[in-house]
Structures are given as C-alpha cells and as structure tokens.
Amino acid sequence: MCSLLETVASPRLLSTTLVIQTTQEMAVYVDSLVNYGWKHGVSCHLIADTIGELMAFAVKIGMRPEWFQPKSSPHFDLTAGARAVAVNHGAIELDRRAFVAKIQELRRMGWPE
C-alpha cells in the first residue's frame, strides 16, 4: 500500500490507486455549507473513512491533490458547487452534529490511516 505522500507525489501511482479505489464502494461525507468568510463564498468539508478513499473521490470530482488539508481532521474544503458535484457522485450529506460525530467515530477507529 502506498503512503499518502507517495500517492500525491507520483501521478502514475495516483492513477493506479484511483483504478483500484474506484472499483470499490467508498464512504465519503460532506457537512453543511457555512460562511467562513472564504473568498470563494460558503464552503463545507469533504472527509472519508480512509485517506485513500478521500483522495480517490476528491480527484474523481475534480479536486487537485495539493488542495488536501492533512492537519487536524484530514479533509478537502469544498465550494457550494463542488459540494453539489460530490453529492451527485454519492457523498453522504451530514448536518454539523452528525459530521462531528463521524469525525469522532473515525478517530476512535484510528483515523487517519
């Protein structure tokens, strides 16, 4: 299994990982849109059960790997438009309370991995 750094750093590895990852069902989640004062307007967060799933899904919906936010709770920030695309591709919508509960659950399970 590749490390996140190897996956991001090598386009060839990323392509291979995407082929493997997208053949399996992924669990990815988005929270509610909030105005954080970001120049792109309201935004939300995209997380997944694993970093591999998160990276594969994010790239699949047009996110760039360098937009990955690895600190604290690994995630991608999404604009309203990107959130709509994520939901159309199967992201599970969670309200703020459920999203925080999901992050806590993932951390108890050893996330991020």
Q: Where is 76: in which H helix or E strand?
A: strand 76-79
- Other C-beta atoms closer than 10 Å to the C-beta of 19 total 10
Walk along the chain (113 residues) in steps of 10 and give the mean pLDDT of each run: 37 37 69 93 96 96 96 93 98 97 93 73
What tens digit of pLDDT does each residue of 21-46 get?
Answer: 444 566 999 999 999 998 999 999 99
Ranges of each domain in the chain: 25-108
| CA pair distance 72, 47, nearest whole angstrom | 12
- Could you tell me the pTM of the whole model? 0.76
The three-class DSSP label of residue 77 is strand
Contacting residues for 58 by C-beta, under 8 A, at least 6 apart: 46, 65, 67, 68, 76
